[in-house]
Amino acid sequence: MYLIMLGAQGTGKGTVAGLLSKSTGWPQISTGDIFRANISEKTELGNKANEYISKGQLVPDEITVPMVIDRLAQDDCKNGAILDGFPRTVEQAKKLDEILSQKGKKVDMVINLTTPRDEIIERILNRRVCSNPQCKATYNLTMHPSKVEGICDNCGAKLVQREDDSDENAIKQRLAIYDEKTSPLIDFYTNKGVLITEEVSERINRLGKDVAEDVLKRIK
Ligand code: ADP
Ligand code: ZN
């Protein structure tokens, strides 16, 4: 199956996608992670993408769409994939429909994660990620701290804060882009009958792992 994680920054898309990937064997495809890996390796794609990412803007489709096409063409995606961070615009969603229909596939389920805005900002400011590109585990200083401060539980590498996560104004700008460009996808996929909405919030004690369990029940 081809699943899409939808939802604003900091709602836990990466966490849910990672858990679903582990249980299903379908790869997690995070466009943000692919960009960051390319940026740290200083590839041509990374250098181009960084011009936009460092300003908090979306990377243009000319760069993003071919990258996703390449990734979906790899052998490990032939039975399914969990897309995390793509599509982010209605144009990208239409492109994805084309790409999948050429393979005789379609988007089977879209998981729309919602979290109150004030909680989102706090979560992003407290987010720490593993600096090892092979691991990329995500932690939260208050909700989900590592066992040893600053060190990844999985692999022992240093935990770091993403550059774009450290500044509240930059976070608000990314959320504004989400509202403008990405949130129309909620209607787009509702109309196709494939969207489910899942609330993730500390206040109702419902976290990514609860959502992943629910989704796994639905796709069994
Ligand atoms: P966030 O969701 O917190 O913005 P991501 O890791 O998903 O973080 O993405 C980091 C950055 O990479 C985004 O701010 C954006 O600039 C770029 N990016 C990721 N996915 C896409 C996409 N589908 N289209 C355009 N730009 C993207
Ligand atoms: Zn790690």
Within a domain: 30: yes
Within a domain: 143: no
Within a domain: 57: yes
CATH number at residue 106: 3.40.50.300
pLDDT of residue 167: 87
- 20/143: higher pLDDT: 20
Within a domain: 149: no
pLDDT in tens, 85-135: 999 999 999 999 999 999 999 999 999 999 999 999 999 999 999 999 888
Residues 6+ apart with CB under 8 A from 114: 7, 8, 11, 197, 198, 199, 200
Residue 140 CA to residue 161 CA, distance in Å, equals 10
Distance from the alpha carbon of residue 58 to the mean position of ligand 1, in angstroms: 6
Query: What residues make up the domain containing 76?
Result: 2-116+167-219
pLDDT of residue 56: 83
Within a domain: 201: yes
Pairing label, strands 28-30, 2-7: unpaired
Give the total number of structural domains in the chain.
Answer: 1
Choose the residue to mutate in 53, 54, 140 for probing ligand 1, maximizing ligand atoms within 8 Å of C-beta. 53
Q: What's the average model confidence in pLDDT over 75-87?
A: 97
Within a domain: 138: no
Ligand 1: list residues with CB < 6 Å.
Answer: 9, 31-32, 35, 52-53, 57-59, 64, 85-86, 88, 92, 174
Token output for 156:
């022992």
Within a domain: 208: yes
Catalytic residues: 13, 88, 127, 162, 174
Within a domain: 158: no
